[in-house]
């Protein structure tokens, strides 16, 4: 392998994922390989900050002459419905712990509250700092010059080249011709996936030829278990969405069974929990947290590796790990809780809609969206919120070796970037999955090249065979429905709260 040529652009990916890719490209260049990025456009005269940020990791950047460089800085925009609700005669009742837990503010405010603005401004500032520093370093520009360039963007291709943001202008065929010339006439062009597949086959053949001990050939080698905890958190089994591109959800039964299975496996010496989740159900998060605690008690180190988002419930399932690793651009924290409901009785009454009610039990209709909470129901809600928040903060304090008051000062529902979280103690180290697996190997006393195995590895036959018990690695298959708000989950979904539960990160945090 002599060169890497990558087309940059297309579907947006998360900032933390981009940072992992950037580091891999930089490592490849430091190993003496040629690295070239090409794009038809970094945004089409629109924001393309993250695409361009990825491209700066490469040794040379080509841009199609008709393309643009959308280096414009970061914007976070939210829509608020309070004014429309007032005109409709609707109300929205919400309670939260604490002031930074802002998921319901689109229904209760007409703009950013002061805490939400403070939080969002700092996140945008932190991300802009990360992008600016990288551009300055890789393009050999001063910090002041990069700040000026961001304020003056976006750029047409000729000016982008004149300002030093790109190296060459050219179409795809011209880029490929130039790279082939540098690589040599006998160089073979392969998609990265084909190259990796061929390399794995070659390594397996080499292992067979060198006649490794049978125990290693049959999977007896000591390994690190890699467990993916991806998507909103819900009780029960993990969810596979039937809709293309809509992702799924992690179920506490599925993830807990995977951790239990790794604890029982004598070949697993450490666990890496790869978390990419905005949170969800408090109860489900607590179930997974408990299994992480049990794994550590069993003598198996656990390292949490955070992806693009590991916030609220996503942080809850990470906080008991021996070490937490995040990228600078990971969105994390959001240690808090909220609940609420719309009150639509007056709105429906204006349209001539009436209702009647029969109840058995003082709070049987507590979550009815036709009437407000009573004083007694507010008492119950506040007791529940205090219980959840205090438990969350207490467990963070326990896992991070801090006092509850220290945690409270950086909690309150506030979102942090990974860079800021490393500074306030919520994260131990900055890096990606490779960093986390290296730490896990070291903690377990394994070789730096000890294998990492996605866990549990369930064969097609295992999927058909009933699990022997909840300890079995095939104990939880995926299913389809969510109920992590309890009786209020459908209501939460209808009014815009995330249907997966009260420990869910507010808003969308995908930057362009």
Question: Which residue numbers are catalytic?
Answer: 101, 312
Compute CA 49 distance to the chain's CA centroid, rounded to the nearest angstrom: 19
Helix (H) or strand (E) segment spanning residue 388 = helix 375-400
For residue 469, give the DSSP letter.
S
- CA atoms of 99 and 471, how far apart (whole Å): 40
Backbone angles phi, psi at 293, to 5 degrees: -60, -45
Pairing of β 68-69 and β 91-97: unpaired
Q: Which residues contact 512 (CB under 8 A, 6 or more apart)?
A: 12, 43, 46, 47, 48, 49, 50, 51, 70
Residue 185 phi/psi, 5-degree rounding, is -65, -25
Cβ contacts of residue 319 below 8 Å, gap of 6+?
289, 304, 395, 396, 399, 400
Task: Classify the C-alpha dihedral 489-490-495-496 as positive or negative.
Answer: positive
393, 411 contact by CB (below 8 A): yes
What are the strands of the beta sheet with 60-63, ordered from one edge?
3-7, 34-39, 60-63, 168-169
Is 329 within 8 Å of 127 (Cβ atoms)?
yes
Integer-rounded Cα Rg, in Å, for the chain is 25
Per-position DSSP letters for 1-59, written without gaps between them = --EEEEE--SS---HHHHHHHHHHHHHHHHTT-EEEEEES-BSSSS--HHHHHHHTTSS
Q: Which residues contact 182 (CB under 8 A, 6 or more apart)?
A: 3, 34
Q: How far apart are CA 43 and CA 72, in angstroms?
A: 10
Q: Are 451 and 282 in contact (CB under 8 A)?
A: no
CA pair distance 58, 490, nearest whole angstrom: 47
């Amino acid at each position: 392998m002599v060169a890497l040529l990558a087309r940059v652009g297309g579907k947006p990916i998360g900032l933390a994922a981009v940072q992992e890719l950037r580091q891999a490209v930089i490592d490849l260049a430091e190993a003496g390989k040629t690295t070239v990025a090409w794009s038809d456009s970094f945004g089409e005269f629109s924001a393309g900050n993250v695409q361009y940020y990825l491209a700066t990791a490469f040794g040379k950047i080509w841009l199609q002459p008709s393309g643009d460089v959308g280096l414009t800085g970061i914007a976070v925009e939210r829509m608020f419905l309070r004014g429309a609700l007032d005109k409709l005669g609707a109300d929205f009742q919400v309670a939260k712990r604490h002031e930074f837990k802002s998921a319901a503010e689109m229904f209760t405010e007409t703009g950013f509250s002061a805490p939400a603005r403070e939080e969002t401004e700092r996140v945008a500032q932190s991300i802009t700092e990360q992008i600016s520093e990288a551009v300055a370093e890789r393009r050999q520009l001063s910090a002041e010059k990069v700040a000026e360039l961001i304020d003056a963007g976006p750029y047409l291709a000729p000016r982008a080249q004149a300002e030093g943001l790109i190296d060459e202008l050219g179409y795809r065929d011209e880029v490929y011709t130039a790279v082939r010339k540098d690589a040599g006439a006998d160089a073979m062009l392969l998609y990265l996936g084909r190259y990796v597949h061929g390399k794995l086959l070659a390594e397996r053949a080499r292992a067979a030829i060198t006649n490794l001990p049978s125990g290693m050939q049959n999977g007896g080698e000591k390994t690190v278990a890699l467990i993916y905890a991806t998507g909103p958190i819900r009780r029960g089994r993990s969810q596979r969405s039937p809709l293309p591109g809509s992702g799924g959800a992690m179920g506490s039964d599925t993830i807990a069974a995977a951790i239990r299975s790794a604890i029982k496996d004598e070949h697993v010496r450490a666990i890496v929990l790869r978390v990419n989740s905005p949170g969800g159900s408090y109860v489900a998060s607590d179930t997974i947290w408990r299994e992480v605690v049990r794994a550590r008690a069993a003598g198996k180190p656990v390292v949490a590796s955070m992806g693009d988002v590991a916030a609220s419930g996503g942080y809850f399932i990470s906080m008991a790990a021996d070490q937490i690793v995040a990228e600078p651009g990971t969105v994390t924290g959001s240690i808090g809780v909220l609940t609420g409901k719309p009150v639509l009785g007056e709105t429906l009454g204006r349209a001539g809609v009436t209702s009647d009610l029969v109840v058995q039990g003082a709070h049987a209709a507590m979550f009815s969206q036709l009437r407000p909470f009573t004083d007694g129901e507010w008492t119950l809600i506040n007791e529940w919120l205090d219980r959840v928040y205090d438990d969350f903060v207490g467990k963070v304090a326990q896992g991070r070796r801090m006092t509850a008051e220290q945690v409270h000062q950086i909690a309150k529902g506030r979102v942090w970037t990974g860079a800021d979280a490393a500074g306030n103690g919520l994260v131990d180290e900055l890096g990606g999955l490779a960093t986390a697996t290296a730490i896990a190997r070291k903690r377990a006393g394994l070789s730096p090249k000890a294998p990492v195995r996605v866990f549990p590895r369930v064969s097609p036959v295992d999927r058909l065979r009933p699990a022997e018990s909840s300890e079995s690695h095939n104990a939880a298959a995926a299913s389809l429905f969510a109920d992590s708000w309890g009786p209020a989950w459908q209501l939460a979904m209808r009014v815009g709260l995330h249907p997966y539960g009260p420990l869910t990160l507010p808003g969308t945090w995908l930057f362009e």
